[in-house]
Amino acid sequence: MDIEQTKIPQATAKRLPLYYRFLNNLHTQGKLRVSSKELSDAVKVDSATIRRDFSYFGALGKKGYGYNVEYLLSFFRKTLDQDETTRVALIGVGNLGTAFLNYNFTKNNNTKIEIAFDANEERVGSEVGGVGVEHIDDLEEKLGDISVAILTVPSSAAQGIADRLVKAGISGILNFTPARISVPSNVRVHHIDLAIELQALVYFLKHYPLNEEEAEEEQ
């Protein structure tokens, strides 16, 4: 790892993978240059925000010209560590876990689910999406140095599994269960709560009426 330009705002950091993906698309399409305005139309983020985001990394573009797609892409590839693959474990091969295993994020990404765990004897030993399913009892033993886990177990099991993951040395957990798990502060948890996302959308529809003109919305 190299010197940290530590002060990238979190809001910016969350948009970086999005930029990277669209840059990749543009590159595949053979585009050589792109302006913040074009990018804005594609990713639905205000063009000033895009320029501001990029500027945290220095002067990546040219005034009057825009950004060189190749250059920008290679810059982000380094920044987002797209060259090394982050190995990921998935716990809970149920409805959601199976969907993730079949998808496996490799199409665009630097991440790969390498191993899965489940408590159900019938699943253990099988393969889903090319990933072997191990018994949850062997978690500590088989996790190795994997540092990121996706949690798709029933919510009642979430805290217990999280505790074991932490003990086994995990650094980050992507938690899809509705349980709000507690971990020490040296472990990062991102909650993705799908039921809440749906309810929030419904709430916004009822209470934040939209106008009858153009343009569109945030995530």
| Shortest Å, Cβ 213 to DNA | 14
Contacts of residue 123, defined as CB under 8 A and 6 or more positions apart, other chains included, come to 93, 133
154 binds ligand NAD (CB under 6 A): yes
196 binds ligand NAD (CB under 6 A): no
Q: Which is nearer to its own copies, 69 or 166 (CB)?
A: 166
Per-residue x/- track, 117-136, ligand NAD (CB under 6 A): xxxx---------------x
Identify residues 21-60 at the interface with DNA (CB under 7 A): 35-37, 46-49, 51-52, 54-55, 59-60
Interacting span for ligand NAD (CB under 6 A) from 14-22, 40-48, 91-99, 162-170: 91-99
Measuring CA to CA, which residue among 197, 186, 190, 181 is closest to residue 13? 190
| First and final C-alpha spacing in the chain | 31
Measuring CA to CA, which residue among 35, 46, 41, 60 is closest to residue 11? 46
Residue 142 near residue 160, CB atoms below 8 Å: no
| Shortest Å, Cβ 15 to ligand NAD | 17
Residue 179 near residue 158, CB atoms below 8 Å: yes
Pick one of 31, 178, 188, 201: the residue that binds ligand NAD (CB under 6 A): 178
Contacts of residue 98, defined as CB under 8 A and 6 or more positions apart, other chains included, come to 128, 129
Going by the DSSP 8-state scheme, the letter that residue 182 receives in this structure is -
Pick one of 53, 69, 72, 97: the residue that binds ligand NAD (CB under 6 A): 97
Pick one of 95, 186, 211, 219: the residue that binds ligand NAD (CB under 6 A): 95
| Shortest Å, Cβ 34 to DNA | 7
Residue 133 near residue 123, CB atoms below 8 Å: yes
Rg, Å, the chain Cα set: 20
Q: What is the DSSP string of 56-92?
A: TT---SBTTTBEEHHHHHHHHHHHTT-SSPEEEEEE-
Residues that bind ligand NAD in the complex, under the rule CB under 6 A: 91-97, 99-100, 103, 117-120, 136, 152-155, 157, 161, 176-178, 194-195
Residues that bind DNA in the complex, under the rule CB under 7 A: 9-12, 35-37, 46-49, 51-52, 54-55, 59-67
